[in-house]
Amino acid sequence: MLKREPYTPGPANVAQVRKDGGKWTLVLVRELRHSREKVWQALTDPAHLREWAPFDADRSLGTAGTTVKLTTVGAPTPRVSETTVTRADAPEVLEYNWGGFGMRWKLEAFGDGTRLTLWINIARPYISMGAAGWHICFDVLDHYLGGTPIGRIVGPEAIKFGGWRRLNAEYAKQFGIETPNWPPQADQEL
């Protein structure tokens, strides 16, 4: 069992919300101290995804045209969605859908590390919650790639986590929206 006591997420990072017609896109950027090749592997390899991502993949996401089943982790009822990788230009750009929402990852060299940008289509009521969840996932990814894994924190477990509530409020303020009251009657925080 991994110990999480030392982990506290930092403040909300600069993020953007874009609207195109009726479609909302959350844009998150994180600077990681790891090479693009190492980050690419973490984004595409099922074994690596199991360490940090909010879904499991039944095969690699690293090849355009590949059909992959993505299963949401931690949901009361597993949600499985089948997707086809639409773009996989290693180690620069990865595109696919998850649960009907488009996802685009861009990896740029940044000093000795990588600037990772995620564009994800998301329903408007869930924008700050999604930003908080991905923030924690990126923290877990950074720890994992750095050799100090803290274990995946996703789904209902993330929502119960104290840092998630704070991040949800910080991102809501950043986006100029009311903080969603979710979950309405939350369990005690971890």
Q: Which CATH superfamily is domain 15-175 in?
A: START domain (3.30.530.20)
Q: Is the preceding peptide bond at 76 cis, omega within 30 degrees of 0?
A: no
Residue 158: predicted pLDDT: 86
Residue 1: predicted pLDDT: 43
Distance CA 112, CA 27 (A): 23
Is this model's pTM higher than 0.75 or not?
yes
Residue 186: predicted pLDDT: 44
Distance CA 71, CA 41 (A): 19
Residue 157: predicted pLDDT: 85
Confidence of residue 190 (pLDDT cuts 50, 70, 90): very low
Distance CA 5, CA 21 (A): 43
Domain ranges of the chain: 15-175
Going by C-alpha positions, the residue among 7, 9, 14 that lies closest to residue 173 is 14
Looking at residue 127, what DSSP letter applies?
H
Task: Please check the confidence at residue 27 and state whether its pLDDT lies above 50.
Answer: yes
Tens digits of residue pLDDT in 52-92: 999 999 999 999 999 999 999 987 788 999 999 999 999 99
Residue 8: predicted pLDDT: 87
Tens digits of residue pLDDT in 172-186: 999 988 887 765 544
- With tokens 């993505």, the residue in question is 70
| CB half-sphere exposure, 109, CA atoms < 13 A | 3
CB 114, CB 134: distance < 8 Å: no
Tens digits of residue pLDDT in 120-172: 999 888 999 999 999 999 999 999 999 999 999 998 888 887 789 999 999 99
Distance CA 181, CA 105 (A): 29
Distance CA 13, CA 125 (A): 19
Q: Across residues 11-32, what is the average pLDDT?
A: 93
**Sign, Cα dihedral of 12, 15, 18, 22:** negative
Residue type, 12: A
Residue 182: predicted pLDDT: 61
